[in-house]
């Protein structure tokens, strides 16, 4: 004879009596989608005459919640939703590639296979915690971080893995990528509400701008002025506070020397070795007023370009860039190369800074000079601080912007009046064009090249030193600046 209760289903969940007399309701909710650990839903019921009834009601409610998670209304996974979201979003190329990288490395491996309807606030709280724990999502397993993925002999650079968290700004970006995708799923009717809004939003990282001090800025400029082309670039970066991509995209048609206004409407994007011209980050057309000394510097910079083109027997291209490694400025500079050269300069001086911090320097100097925040935001191209008004052309040439230009020029460190040609020493490694210029200077000093004698052609100099034609041009330009040689239009370069 079957015992009492045979054939009845086993009750799901458990109700435990606590020492206090209260009840604890516990229901198994499956494995955590992020960590892979067992997950239980728990609710505590205070002691009292109705505790048993309340515990049964709580168990029923928790079981229904588990059933809803296990049987979502849509079978679409997070991976499929991200594919659709990325395909339809109108992001700029570099933004799209950055977001795709975040998704491939952090979102898809952790929650990509989870059905969208099964996602909830707890899933995302666990997801954020994993991002804060380890950026490689190591699963708490011990392994070696090798210095290269290729076959190699391990040395001290191959070390045991140590967990490092993702940066707060990166976690926040990933959060909003997912939020945007889920908002799209709500509009499509795949889910009734966006579950990530109930999770804890990663806090915005506190801004900690660390611009160089005025003394450090003066040292940086003094070192940069050894090369007049490079010194002009660094000077303009400080005066205008433009982004490096915007600086590389400036053309001479964007500079009005008569009114002292620089127009910023394009930028250069770069990812690895791939470069392209694009819109500015804020999609705004900015007009930045500059002071009189900056106008003089740009005029000298333009004349050097004219002299080089005259020596080549060619006109200055109509769309010539402001800064270029080409003799006729027909190509733009790579943003990464500009940043690397600036970092090398700062390292030689022992200053811990970067090219981007020149924007911080420009902003802090203008604010210290009493320029209003709205004008500073407009010069830097920041989205806040009256963005719509700042898009209007009249705002850029307003009295406050002209006053900002004067303040910026007045606070700039003095530039050397007579640039000195560098000589070979052991303090720093010279650039190839500096080595060539120093060799020609020594030939002039030893009378191998007499006064009035013409130098070999640019191509001949480049061939003799096994360098590019652009490098030879820069060497000759350095000699022109130092007064050792003079460019004779239509004939060549003669020893002064």
Q: What is the mean pLDDT of each run of 10 residues along the chain (496 residues)?
A: 43 84 86 70 88 90 72 74 92 90 94 88 91 87 83 86 89 94 91 88 76 89 92 94 93 94 93 88 86 93 93 91 93 94 94 90 77 78 50 37 67 62 54 86 84 86 85 85 82 83
Question: Tell me, what's the pLDDT at 382?
Answer: 73
Domains of the chain, by residue range, sit at 14-70, 78-141+161-198, 214-407, 432-495
Q: Tell me if 435 sits within 8 A of 424, measured CB to CB.
A: yes
The CATH number of the structural domain formed by 78-141+161-198 is 1.10.150.130
Q: Nearest to residue 146, comparing CAs of 133, 135, 157, 132?
A: 157
Q: According to the model, what pLDDT value does residue 418 have?
A: 47
The pLDDT value recorded for residue 9 is 44
Residue 452 has a pLDDT of: 84
Q: In terms of CATH architecture, what is 432-495?
A: Orthogonal Bundle (1.10)
What is the b/e burial string over 154-167, where b = at least 16 CB atoms within 10 angstroms of the residue's CB? eeeeeeeeeeeebe
Q: How much is the pLDDT for 463?
A: 86
What are the tokens at 378?
A: 């407009």
Give the number of other CB atoms < 10 A from CB of residue 273: 7
Tokens describing residue 411: 């606070």
Q: Which CATH superfamily is domain 214-407 in?
A: Intergrase catalytic core (1.10.443.10)
Please say whether the beta carbons of 363 and 268 come within 8 A: no
How far apart CA 324 and CA 333 sit, in angstroms, is: 5
What element of type H or E holds 33? none
Kind and range of the H or E run holding 493: strand 492-495
| Predicted structure pTM score | 0.61
Q: Helices 469-482 and 292-312: crossing angle, nearest 10°?
A: 120
Residue 132: name the closest of 179, 172, 171 by CA: 171
Q: Distance between CA atoms of 252 and 298, rounded to whole angstroms?
A: 10
pLDDT value for 381 = 78
Inter-residue contact 419 to 228 (CB < 8 Å): yes
Strand, helix or coil for residue 443: helix
């Amino acid at each position: 004879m079957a015992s009492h209760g045979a054939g009845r289903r086993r009750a799901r969940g458990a109700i435990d009596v606590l020492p206090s007399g209260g009840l604890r309701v516990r229901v198994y909710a499956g494995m955590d989608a992020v960590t892979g650990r067992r997950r239980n839903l728990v609710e505590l019921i205070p002691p009292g005459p109705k505790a048993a009834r309340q515990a049964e009601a709580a168990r029923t409610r928790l079981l229904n919640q588990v059933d809803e998670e296990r049987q979502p209304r849509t079978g679409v996974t997070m991976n499929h939703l991200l594919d659709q979201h990325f395909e339809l979003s109108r992001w700029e190329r570099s933004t799209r590639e950055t977001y795709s990288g975040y998704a491939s490395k952090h979102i898809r491996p952790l929650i990509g296979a989870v059905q969208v309807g099964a996602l909830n606030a707890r899933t995302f709280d666990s997801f954020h915690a994993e991002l804060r724990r380890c950026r490689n999502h190591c699963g708490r397993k011990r392994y070696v971080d090798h210095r290269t993925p290729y076959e190699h002999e391990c040395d001290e650079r191959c070390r045991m893995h140590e967990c490092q968290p993702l940066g707060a700004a990166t976690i926040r970006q990933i959060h909003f990528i997912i939020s945007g995708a889920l908002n799209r799923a709500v509009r499509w009717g795949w889910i009734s509400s966006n579950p990530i809004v109930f999770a804890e939003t990663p806090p915005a990282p506190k801004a900690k701008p660390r611009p160089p001090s005025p003394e450090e800025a003066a040292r940086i400029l003094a070192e940069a002025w050894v090369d007049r082309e490079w010194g002009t670039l660094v000077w303009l970066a400080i005066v205008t506070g433009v982004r490096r991509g915007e600086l590389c995209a400036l053309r001479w048609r964007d500079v009005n020397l008569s009114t002292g206004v620089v127009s910023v409407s394009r930028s250069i994007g770069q990812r690895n070795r791939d470069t392209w011209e694009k819109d500015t980050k804020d999609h705004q057309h900015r007009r930045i007023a500059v002071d009189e000394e900056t106008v003089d510097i740009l005029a000298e910079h333009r004349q050097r370009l004219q002299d080089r083109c005259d020596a080549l027997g060619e006109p200055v291209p109509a769309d010539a860039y402001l800064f270029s490694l080409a003799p006729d400025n027909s190509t733009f500079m790579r943003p990464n190369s500009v940043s690397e050269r600036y970092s090398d300069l700062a390292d030689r001086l022992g200053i811990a800074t970067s090219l981007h911090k020149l924007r911080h320097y420009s902003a802090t100097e203008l604010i210290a000079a009493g320029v209003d925040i709205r004008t500073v935001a407009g010069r830097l191209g920041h989205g806040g601080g009256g963005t719509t008004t700042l898009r209007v052309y009249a705002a850029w040439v307003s009295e406050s912007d002209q006053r900002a230009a004067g303040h910026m020029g007045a606070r700039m460190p003095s530039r050397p009046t007579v640039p000195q040609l560098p000589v070979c020493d052991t303090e720093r490694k010279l650039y190839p064009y500096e080595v060539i210029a120093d060799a020609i200077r020594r030939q002039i000093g030893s009378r191998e090249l007499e006064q009035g004698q013409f130098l070999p052609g640019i191509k001949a100099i480049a061939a003799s030193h096994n360098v590019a034609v652009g490098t030879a041009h820069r060497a000759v330009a350095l000699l022109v600046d130092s007064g050792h040689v003079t460019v004779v239009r239509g004939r060549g370069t003669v020893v002064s």
